[in-house]
Amino acid sequence: MKKENENRGGIDSPKWGKHPKETRKMHCVMVRFDDEEWLKFLSMYDQSCVYARAVFIKARVFSQPFRVIKTDKTLLDYYTKLSSFHAQYRAVDNNCAVQDDAMASYLGRVLSK
């Protein structure tokens, strides 16, 4: 039985089980907040748009920059109106090109008669 287990590979064997990570996360830190601190923490966390609280806390502890992304509603409205105006301009331009081609072919037929 012992020989059979040795053939399967030991703890250091890369064949079986999970491959060991070079930097294992072994140390855990716990923080307790009162109600006021918790609300402040949640507001900062929501503004950051990070997917996990642990990632957010780790970034703050190791002083990575704190980014807040805000959407300006007026800028969004301006962008949509500008895009629709540009689409209308392209449609008029395409329509004029088609009319110019039609006019040229019509004049070509009229003048050739």
Most confident among 2-6, 15-19, 109-113 (mean pLDDT)? 15-19
One-letter amino acid of 74: T
Summarize pLDDT for 8-59 with one digit per residue, the tens. 555 555 567 787 778 887 888 888 999 999 999 989 888 888 889 888 888 8
80, containing H or E segment: helix 73-112
What's the mean pLDDT in 73-78? 85
Per residue in 88-109, pLDDT (tens digit) is 877 776 666 666 666 667 666 6
Taking the C-alpha atoms of residue 110 and residue 82, their distance in angstroms, rounded to an integer, is: 41
Residue 70 to residue 32: CA distance in whole angstroms: 29
Q: Is the dihedral of CA 82, 84, 87, 93 positive or negative?
A: negative
pLDDT at 10: 54
Annotate 12-33 with DSSP letters as a single string.
T-SSSSPPPPSS----------
